[in-house]
Amino acid sequence: MYTNQQIKVVLVFQFLSIITGLLTPGLSLIGNSNPTDEGQVDIPSWLQLETPDPDNKNISLCTCLFSDSTFDKSTRKDFVLRNSLRILRRIKVANKIPKDSIYIPICQNPFFKPGQLDVTCTIWKRKGIITLADLYIDTLIDFASFAQLCNKYNIPNSHFFRYLQVRHYVKQRFEHFETIPTSHPFYDNLMLAPESKHFITKFVDCFTVSVSSDFLRQAWASDLQSDVSAELWEKALSLVHSCSINTRYRLIQYKVIHRLHYSKIKLNKIFPSVSTQCDKCSSAEGSLAHMFWFCPQLFGFWSAVFKWYSKCYSKDILPNHNLAIFGCSTETLDYTSDLQMALQLGMVVAKKLVLLNWKSTTSPSFDHWLKEMVSVIQIERLRQEKQDKRNRHVTIWRPFLAQCLITT
């Protein structure tokens, strides 16, 4: 499961990958970064980092992507480039990605000044020494000696001094440069062609770090003033994807669990002029637990919902804040899976109605909930039919719908 921040990062990176795709259509970043390449005249002006424009020849997109680049005059001037680099830097920090990569280019690298003095590095580039990774040729582990480079790339002996300068540059970037530094998957993915298979998925995997949600569990436990066990919390998290076939309901459940709604207390922190008092009862502070459950104005609504379930399924299902908010409780874990599914959907629909009346002084009505449930149950039928489990739908909802017929 991704946190909101991770989702944002992925979306932002998709934007960045589109940029790289525009820059190097059909080819990887390094593969098409030759400044003498032709046919890139149609790209927008701010994307012309890789063009043979003599004014831009000292700036390289690859340098920006693969190293911790600071902004020089030309990047600072460009709004899109400047902000794209800022976003990239934040992505690196948020995902603990090393600042530098072995894919830093040698040519067109403003941080390797000797490379800009003459055509030596351009010659190296034409011969195949494009990035720092190309300097590791001995079984791709050890930093190459000058003799090894000459032997492999046919470099003249007169380039020896430039070799020493490159070696010094690598030593400054990587503490243990003698052996090839481990490459982060983020940089490996950047080397892929944008149209390669599972391109975006690889980045998503790259950003999927296990972030503990325990702070949310503790926040709910404190808000509800009761224990929320780790087992119950795990179950609640898993229900986000199974509470309904409808994405909107899943999103509601996700936002509730992750405490993303604006309670009066939260609003007060942002806008001190807003009162912390609950708009419905004006007798207590509007915490999330209060606004979803504890508010006396909601008592009748929640009681009616639980009473309805007790009647439908001939079982005493007592009002329970864990069940209402998380869609499960310690007690319901022992219920049949059919009843658990029926309760999960009912609770998320109830929360939807609470949210519809979030700013209102009145509470949602039970009749509205029942009407909404009958409509949603028909949609849920699709899920079972899709899974070839039509009988399951009947088992889950027949008691509920039968009670509706009796009542009406």
Q: Which is nearer to Zn ion, 4 or 360 (CB)?
A: 360
3-state helix/strand/coil string of 156-203: CHHHHHHHHHHHHHHHHHCCCCCECCCCCHHHHHHCCCCCCCCHHHHH
What are the φ and ψ backbone dihedral angles of 105, each rounded to 5 degrees?
A: -75, 155
| Cα dihedral value 161, 166, 170, 173, nearest 10 | 110
**Least distance from Zn ion to the Cβ atom of residue 303, Å:** 15
Site for Zn ion in 143-182 (CB under 5 A): none
- Residue 29 near Zn ion by CB under 5 A: no
- Contacts with Zn ion by CB under 5 A: the residue count is 4
- Residue 354 near Zn ion by CB under 5 A: no
Residue 105 neighbours by CB distance under 10 Å: 25
The residue range among 98-106, 222-230, 280-288, 316-324 that interacts with Zn ion, by the rule CB under 5 A, is 280-288
**Least distance from Zn ion to the Cβ atom of residue 286, Å:** 7
**Least distance from Zn ion to the Cβ atom of residue 287, Å:** 10
Question: Do 107 and 122 touch, CB atoms closer than 8 A?
Answer: yes
- Residue 280 near Zn ion by CB under 5 A: yes
**Least distance from Zn ion to the Cβ atom of residue 285, Å:** 9
The residue range among 57-65, 267-275, 291-299, 355-363 that interacts with Zn ion, by the rule CB under 5 A, is 291-299
Q: Which is nearer to Zn ion, 239 or 354 (CB)?
A: 354
**Least distance from Zn ion to the Cβ atom of residue 291, Å:** 7
Q: Which is nearer to Zn ion, 102 or 278 (CB)?
A: 278
What is the pattern of x (binds Zn ion, CB under 5 A) and - over residues 249-278? Answer: -----------------------------x
CA–CA dist 329, 319 (Å, integer): 11
Q: Which is nearer to Zn ion, 144 or 305 (CB)?
A: 305
Q: Which is nearer to Zn ion, 144 or 281 (CB)?
A: 281
Q: Which is nearer to Zn ion, 173 or 264 (CB)?
A: 264
CA–CA dist 206, 204 (Å, integer): 5
**Least distance from Zn ion to the Cβ atom of residue 288, Å:** 12
Q: Which is nearer to Zn ion, 287 or 329 (CB)?
A: 287
Q: Nearest to residue 344, comparing CAs of 246, 267, 273, 269?
A: 246
Strand (E) or helix (H) holding 239: helix 230-239
**Least distance from Zn ion to the Cβ atom of residue 279, Å:** 7
Question: Do 122 and 96 touch, CB atoms closer than 8 A?
Answer: no
**Least distance from Zn ion to the Cβ atom of residue 298, Å:** 7
Please identify which residue in 106, 239, 295, 348 interacts with Zn ion, judged by CB under 5 A.
295
**Least distance from Zn ion to the Cβ atom of residue 281, Å:** 3
Q: Which is nearer to Zn ion, 121 or 278 (CB)?
A: 278
CA angle 275, 280, 284 (to 5 degrees): 55
Please identify which residue in 62, 239, 240, 281 interacts with Zn ion, judged by CB under 5 A.
281
CA–CA dist 116, 107 (Å, integer): 7
Q: Which is nearer to Zn ion, 78 or 285 (CB)?
A: 285
DSSP strands (E only) in 187-336:
none
Mention every residue, 6+ apart, whose C-beta is less than 8 A from residue 196: none
What are the φ and ψ backbone dihedral angles of 233, each rounded to 5 degrees?
A: -65, -45
Q: Nearest to residue 107, comparing CAs of 26, 52, 147?
A: 52
Residues that bind Zn ion (CB under 5 A): 278, 280-281, 295
